[in-house]
Amino acid sequence: MKPGASRGVPPLRIAIAGGGYVGLVTAAGLATLGHRITVAEAQEDRVHDLRAGRLPIREPGLGALWDRAMERGLAVTAPGEQAYAEAQLIIICVGTPPRDDWTQDLASLEGAARDIGSALAHSHQYSVVAVKSTVLPGTTQGPIRSAVEKASGRRAGGDFGLASVPEFLAEGNAVEDFLNPKRIVVGGLDDASTKMVLAAHEGLPGPRVVTDIPTAEMIKYVSNAFLAARVSLSNEIGNICKALGIDARRVLEAVGMDDRIGPKFLRSGVGFGGSCFAKDVRALAVRADTLALGSQMLRATLQVNEEQPRRLVELLRGRLDSLSGRRIALLGLAFKPGTDDVRESRGLAVARLLVQAGARVVAYDPMAIPNARRVAQDLEYVGTSAAALEGADACVIATEWPEFAHLGREFKAMRRGLVVDGRGALDPRDLNIEYEGLCW
């Protein structure tokens, strides 16, 4: 899209608080719409890298979008009052990491809110503060609003605007998700806040959902809870199918043809990983507890997900008698194909269980080894599938990287050609291996 093409409003001055995954995609995407963007990022070396066009994340299409945004004047700066002084719209995209008790750590968010408040204290223009970070309902109108009001000495609603504009970006598809959203959800404190956020997104396709702030915050959690629950239900169904000698994939494919159900997020296997599903479902479950409501479905979603790697390891133990001293080739460490992200990776969950059982795990992943190495030092890492399979007593597939589907003669180098597939990554026909699927 050309700058400002098909937009009826003049470009806005927009500041993005946080140059992480969500902040960078949002900044580059909004720049494509013709807006003047400043990104405020706390890590000095990252500011330096971003200015030089070096992105800290891999995301298809983001590099090209970023370069064009820089040509159009996108600026990267340290956070603080100055970063937000000129902005008409400030979008907070900082992280909300979980604490040990699954509650959210809001320190970065409140820090950004204070900086923004200090900027608003000296500003003569009307600005809107919008929260894109995933926060539980009540957070934007509670601690965030208070922090901005306190630091600015101004009042939300009259003196500045407040909104929630949750993100629905899936890793590996984030640029596409931004440019072609399924819906844009805007929760505004008042009309002026909502209008500003809508104006920033003018030019993007898709329906707009205009609502209040807590509803917008909740939509994000419920979207992730539904998707995660579908995966866990598919996995539970998959376990039952397996015990009955039925291929769960055929069952779920047919079930998904019913348009009341739909075909997506019905792939059974070793479970979901990633930065959002487990974190958000846990946070919502804990919130339900604090409301004395209980959360059976949310907790079951998490329990089934924790159980799948254990099932896979038990299947392997059953085939090998004992895991102690066995050499296991682990193919796949990323939480899904197309990313180097290992957060909540099911492959690493399997690896931990195998190591606990005394196995020697030799792991390969096309992208995620550097990140895996940082969190799992007790695995051996190798540069190819073939090297992992060489002399292995068994192989586990934990991520459905397309290259695994082409493996063939590499299995011949195994001591015993036993493959336990947690993702349906392999078609075992014509392969001379002992194949065992987790749910089929």
**Which has the closest alpha carbon to 336: 265, 263, 272, 388?**
272
Site membership for ligand UDX, residue 132 (CB under 6 A): no
> Collapsing DSSP states into helix, strand and coil, what is residue 51?
helix
- List the structure tokens of 137: 């309902």
- Output the smallest distance, CB 6 to ligand UDX, in A: 26
The residues pairing with 162 across neighbouring beta strands, listed in sequence order, are: 129
**Rounded Cα distance, 336 and 398, in Å:** 9
Closest contact distance (angstroms) between CB of 75 and ligand UDX is: 26
Comparison of 70 and 298: residue with beta carbon closer to ligand UDX: 298
Segment interacting with ligand UDX (CB under 6 A) among 145-153, 190-198, 209-217, 272-280: 272-280
Provide the minimum distance between the beta carbon of 272 and ligand UDX in the complex, in angstroms, as a whole number: 3
Query: Two tokens at 12?
Result: 């806005």
395 given a catalytic annotation: no
Using the minimum distance from each CB to ligand UDX, give the nearer residue, 3 or 98. Answer: 98
Per CB under 6 A, 283 contacts ligand UDX: no
Helix axes 296-320, 277-290, angle to 10 degrees: 130
Strands (E), 136-259: 161-164, 184-188, 208-211
Q: Segment near ligand UDX (CB under 6 A), from 125-133, 273-281, 288-296, 318-326?
A: 273-281
| 135/98 Cα distance (integer angstroms) | 11
State the minimum distance, in angstroms, from the CB of residue 185 to ligand UDX: 12
Q: Does 58 sit near ligand UDX (CB under 6 A)?
A: no
- Footprint of ligand UDX on 188-227 (CB under 6 A): 224, 227
Q: Which of 266, 323, 328, 342 lies at the binding interface for ligand UDX (CB under 6 A)? A: 266
Tell me how far apart the alpha carbons of residues 346 and 323 are, in angstroms, rounded to a whole number. 19
Binding of residue 269 to ligand UDX (CB under 6 A): yes
DSSP at 365: -
Q: Does 249 bind ligand UDX (CB under 6 A)?
A: no
- Residue 18: which region, alpha, beta or left (left: phi > 0; alpha: psi -120 to 50)? left
The nearest distance, CB 1 to ligand UDX, in angstroms, is 22
Does 277 contact ligand UDX by CB under 6 A?
yes
- Pair of tokens at residue 167: 């993100």
Q: Which of residues 89-118 bind ligand UDX (CB under 6 A)?
A: none
Among residues 168, 246, 373, 434, the one that binds ligand UDX under rule CB under 6 A:
168
Q: How far apart are CA 279 and CA 374, in angstroms?
A: 20
| Cβ-proximal residues to 89 (8 Å cutoff; 6+ apart), any chain | 12, 13, 14, 15, 127, 128, 130, 196, 197, 200
Our finding on whether 160 is near ligand UDX (CB under 6 A) is no
Query: What is the distance, to the nearest Å, from the Cα of residue 169 to the centroid of all Cα atoms in its chain?
Result: 7
CB within 8 A of 71, min separation 6: which ones? none
Confirm or reject binding of residue 267 to ligand UDX (CB under 6 A): yes
The yes or no reply on residue 422 touching ligand UDX (CB under 6 A) is no
Does 287 interact with ligand UDX (rule: CB under 6 A)?
no
Q: Which of 160, 272, 364, 401 binds ligand UDX (CB under 6 A)?
A: 272
Q: Which is nearer to ligand UDX, 340 or 410 (CB)?
A: 340
368: contact with ligand UDX by CB under 6 A: no
Helical axes 213-244 vs 277-290, angle rounded to 10° = 110
Binding ligand UDX (rule: CB under 6 A), the pick from 181, 187, 273, 417 is 273
Per-residue binding letters, 221-240, with ligand UDX (x by CB under 6 A): ---x--x---x---------
Query: CA 234, 236, 241, 247 torsion: positive or negative?
Result: positive
Residues 306-345 binding ligand UDX (CB under 6 A) are: 335-336
DSSP string, 86-137: T-SEEEE-----B-TTS-B--HHHHHHHHHHHHHHHT--S--EEEE-S---T
Question: Any idea which residues carry the catalytic annotation?
Answer: 276
Residues that bind ligand UDX (CB under 6 A): 167-171, 224, 227, 231, 265-267, 269, 271-274, 276-277, 335-336
